[in-house]
Amino acid sequence: MAKIEYREALRQAIIEEMDRDSRVFLIGEDIGVYGGAFRVYKGLLEKYGPDRVINTPISEAAILGAGVGAALTGYRPVSEIMFIDFTTLAMDQIVNQAAKIRYMTGDCLNVPLVIRTQGGAGRGVAAQHSQSLEAWFYHVPGLKVVMPATPYDAKGLLKASIRDNNPVMFIEQKMIYLNQGEVPEEEYLIDLGKADIKREGKDVTIFAYSAMVFEALAAAKELEEEGISCEVFDPRTLVPLDLQALVDSVKKTHRLVVVSEACQRGSIASDVCARVVDQAFDWLDAPVRVVAGLNTPIPYNSALEQASIPHKEDIARAVRQLI
């Protein structure tokens, strides 16, 4: 298998789907000549032309309004919002339109729309460009939410998202675009709602997604030297969530730590805890722990920025408290 960067895996997925289906097109800011803020679309304007790689003015509402309209007429747009923070400017298109139309028409109309965006801290771009806002979309019935960690997962899940008949929030973490991983040359898809065990273990389950998967794996490696065996559980998609697989993991390890870069208040992490406790309370030998970002805007100062989000040390400390 070839070893490629995360952003190249995304690019390959888009090319394969655009070659396969002429209804797939791209729309967003700076995706043409510039190739996108993180170069995922590099060379695609030359390959497919301006009718399928549509560079837009700075208007998130227009990008997603056009995406919803095109999806309703049979196209399969991949709309890019450069930073997840900017989805605030298009919440009506996402929450009131894309998420609701299928239900309001009694399943007569579908919205096969992928909204690619990225979030998270780490680049020192401060409070308006570093947020982890996935919980907003997790909360909305009618949306699917995908947050892949590895190049393999990113490619397989993006291809599946483009073929899905529902609106999908496809959220990437800005610090993992250059991460490398093995990706098969032959075609493959990953079903939405199917989790992956990134590391087998028997003493505690660590639930982590997106960039936090790597912090969890680093903590697991450190804890292994202390004789603690950690299972790292990556849901890969938050909606649908592979809850049964998580419950099965907890029944094996009897302990759970839930990790999220987003702040804990009103978070997915808190909801996952509640759902696991509801279904596996009798199997737990210790309280469930949450390791999450601080309830604060992301600071510009790099030291404070790092202090505001979880790291392997925080995860390892939480695990030790359970053993």
Separation between Cα atoms, residue 9 and residue 183, nearest integer Å: 8
CA pair distance 211, 202, nearest whole angstrom:
23
CB 204 within 8 A of CB 322: yes
Sign of the torsion formed by the C-alpha atoms of 193, 198, 200 and 206: negative
Decide: 112 and 203 in contact? Cβ < 8 Å. no
* Residues that are catalytic: 60, 129
Q: Residue 158 is inside which H or E element, if any?
A: helix 151-163
Phi, psi of 31 (to 5 degrees): -95, -5
Q: Are 260 and 209 in contact (CB under 8 A)?
A: yes
CA distances from 23 to 8, 115, 281, 318 (A): 22, 16, 47, 48
**Which of 155, 172, 167 has the alpha carbon at shortest distance from 78?**
167
d(CA 48, CA 149): 28
Which is it for the CA torsion 70, 72, 77, 80, positive or negative?
positive
